Structure 1
Amino acid sequence: MHLQWTSWLTLAVLCMYIWNVIIVGRMRNVHKVPAPAMDGPPEFLRAMRVQANTVEQMVFFFPALWLCAIWSGDIPAALLGLVWLFGRIIYALAYLKDASKRSTGFLISSVAAIALMLGAVVGLSGVLK
């Protein structure tokens, strides 16, 4: 079983997470927020929240992605994962500018994650066979 598309998507998601971490580091530097402080100006707090929320979402996303890939196929899982990734990027860009604008990206990524989980359930239950 080759899961190359899901593997590539996983690497892309990890790159997106590294981007989040770099933004937090830049905000720490720009706003003079020394580690391990977790409080600072709104720009820093928004960057921290984007990074933290992304980690929180990855805990659900990665198992759902891989279970969907294994049980329902590489391409469907990778495509839904790509939707999740775009949702997270939209979420991050919006949240960094204005916290009240984060909902669209959050909704896109949440729906994609739930679809991945449902894809795993459908594949595992044998409904598609």
Structure 2
Amino acid sequence: MIFTAWAMLAVLGVYFWTGVMAGYARVKYGVPAPSMEGPAAFHSAQRVQANTLEQLPIVIVPLWLCATYLGDAWAAAGGLLWCVGRIAYALGYYRDPARREIGFVLGMVASALLIGGTVVGLLMH
């Protein structure tokens, strides 16, 4: 499951990047911790990080289940698609929150494919 392990590291890398971007926004816009009050750009960075955290359980669990029951390459592909979706989501949200949809949809499709792949793999066993 080496490909899945690399995809898992990519998932964590995306999450780490969103956390760094949220911290950078806090410094850039002078929003001292623990305050959450600041300009819209600060709120966007915070929401991207929080939304990404909220998505982790629905990608990490099916990522490993899919790898176990369907196959390493399938799971890794789903994990990497999720990363592409979350990066697109973040970049869209940073520009304009209304531009986040395509990334959100890609991430959700990736999670759905991982869940579906797990079901297929379980049925094949």
TM-score (norm 2): 0.97
Task: Report the alpha carbon displacement of residue 37 of structure 1 after superposing the two structures with TM.
Answer: 1.1
Question: What are the ranges of 5 or more consecutive residues in structure 2 without an aligned counterpart?
Answer: none
Separation of aligned partners in 2, 1:120 and 1:14 = 21
Q: 1:110 is matched with which residue?
A: 108
- Aligned amino acid, residue 113 of structure 2: A
Task: Report the alpha carbon displacement of residue 39 of structure 1 after superposing the two structures with TM.
Answer: 2.1
Separation of aligned partners in 2, 1:122 and 1:84 = 19
Q: 2:27 is matched with which residue?
A: 29
Count how many residue pairs are aligned between Structure 1 and Structure 2.
125
Helix, strand or coil for the counterpart of 1:32? coil
Helix, strand or coil for the counterpart of 2:120? helix
Cα deviation, 1:101-126, whole Å, max 9, x if unaligned, reads 00000001101100100100110122
Task: Report the alpha carbon displacement of residue 15 of structure 1 after superposing the two structures with TM.
Answer: 1.1
Percent identity reads 46
The one of 55, 58, 62 aligned to 2:56: 58
Question: What are the ranges of 5 or more consecutive residues in structure 1 without an aligned counterpart?
Answer: none
Q: 1:86 is matched with which residue?
A: 84
Q: Does residue 45 of structure 2 align to residue 47 of structure 1?
A: yes
Separation of aligned partners in 1, 2:17 and 2:80 = 16
Separation of aligned partners in 2, 1:113 and 1:39 = 32
Q: 1:18 is matched with which residue?
A: 16
Structure 1 moving runs of 4+ over 2 Å: none
Separation of aligned partners in 1, 2:22 and 2:41 = 9
